[in-house]
Structure 1
């Protein structure tokens, strides 16, 4: 059964997404905040605030915080009410989608990796995995090239997938599906029933083919003239 979009679900996604990226995370009522590591602002702290279907009061409060600190971000999951005119923001990233899948019935065995590639798994605490696919000497590109990667974290019965990426030199070789299946087999070591991820516009077709369902739009806002690099939630570094 597809879960409903609510604050608890978004809180779970934020926890898993932050875990996969080594971000500090803080939950304060309906406001979820992640400190984006490796991103610098004038005050040295680039916080991203995440709200699920925010009401006008919470949206205005967080919008004022973002507008007053260029480099900080507001991410809205769901359809937000209009941004207050006295606290202007601009959309920095659109077209992303929170998606969900039933993990029951997913293959618990790691898929067979073609001889042109090899898989490396790194296990991290608490409960997340990094998968890297590299080429072998059997591939036309030669040995040792990073072809694809992805991450997944287990959080409160959910598997949160993140940074599913394929190198442009290795696309259309089935690696996106391979990474997703391999990550699913890893995270099923834990008691997870549903999968969550935020998909880019380009990635939504792949995930739809793999059985994922669209749940809610994801939009990232910043202060006017904010030029924050890569504010998306689905892309690799």
Structure 2
């Protein structure tokens, strides 16, 4: 089973992505919004609106909010729309993809971690987890270096993965795959059928190798005077 792109799916992804980052989230009809902390924290200006397959009416309504509050963002999931004439928006980020995988094909057991590493699991809530891989004294880099990490939240039958990251010093050692497998085993403690994530251009090859398929483009827009370059949904942290 592979989900089709629709508003309900995008709502689920926004909820899970926000939960993994401790962002406030709101849903108002077809407009889903996440309060990104750390951008203009505390002033309420850093809302990001997310739309799936928006029509011109929705685009104009949300773009007005973005224009009135230049710290805000509009993310479109689906084919990049033609921005209507007179709508003052510019594309800030392209190249990310919403991806999906059948969780029925994932291993319910946590993977074996090589002796050069150890895994730590933090249960932030009953339904979301942070996995951190650190080096042990058996590794040439020495003990205690953070090598890789990732997060996952279970939301309405989906496992939403986020912030899958490997330190440059530890790349090409299979740790990205290890983190994904570990997170999948944790998510499967809940009744999840499919996985969702937004992947950067660099991450898409890894996820494709792990069986994920591309579902939709993800494009971020901002006001013409917005000065944030390449705001990402797949950054490390």
**TM-score normalised to the size of structure 2?**
0.97
- In the alignment, is residue 54 of structure 1 matched against residue 54 of structure 2? yes
Tell me the residue number matched to 2:163: 163
Tell me the residue number matched to 2:199: 199
| TM alignment of 1:167-182, pairs within 5 A | 167-182=167-182
Tell me the residue number matched to 1:24: 24
> What secondary structure is seen at the aligned counterpart in 1 of 2:74?
strand
| TM alignment of 1:38-49, pairs within 5 A | 38-40=38-40, 43-49=43-49
**CA-based RMSD:** 1.3
Tell me the residue number matched to 1:104: 104
Q: Give the Cα–Cα distance (whole angstroms) in 1 for the partners of residues 64 and 80 of structure 2.
A: 15
Q: Give the Cα–Cα distance (whole angstroms) in 1 for the partners of residues 209 and 34 of structure 2.
A: 31
Q: Structure 2: state its 5+ residue gaps.
A: none
- Name segments (4+ residues, structure 1) moved above 3 Å: 41-44
Q: Give the Cα–Cα distance (whole angstroms) in 2 for the partners of residues 3 and 165 of structure 1.
A: 26
- Deviation digits for residues 173-217 of structure 1 (CA, Å, limit 9, x no counterpart): 000000000000011000000000000000000000000010000
* Residues matched between the structures, number: 237
- In the alignment, is residue 91 of structure 1 matched against residue 91 of structure 2? yes
Shift of residue 41, structure 1, vs aligned partner: 6.6
Q: Give the Cα–Cα distance (whole angstroms) in 1 for the partners of residues 22 and 230 of structure 2.
A: 16
Contact 1:55 1:80 in 2 (8 A): no
> What secondary structure is seen at the aligned counterpart in 1 of 2:3?
coil
Cα distance change, pair 57–164 in 1 and its aligned pair in 2 (3 A): same
Tell me the residue number matched to 2:147: 147
> What secondary structure is seen at the aligned counterpart in 2 of 1:49?
strand
Contact 2:92 2:229 in 1 (8 A): no
| TM alignment of 1:212-227, pairs within 5 A | 212-227=212-227
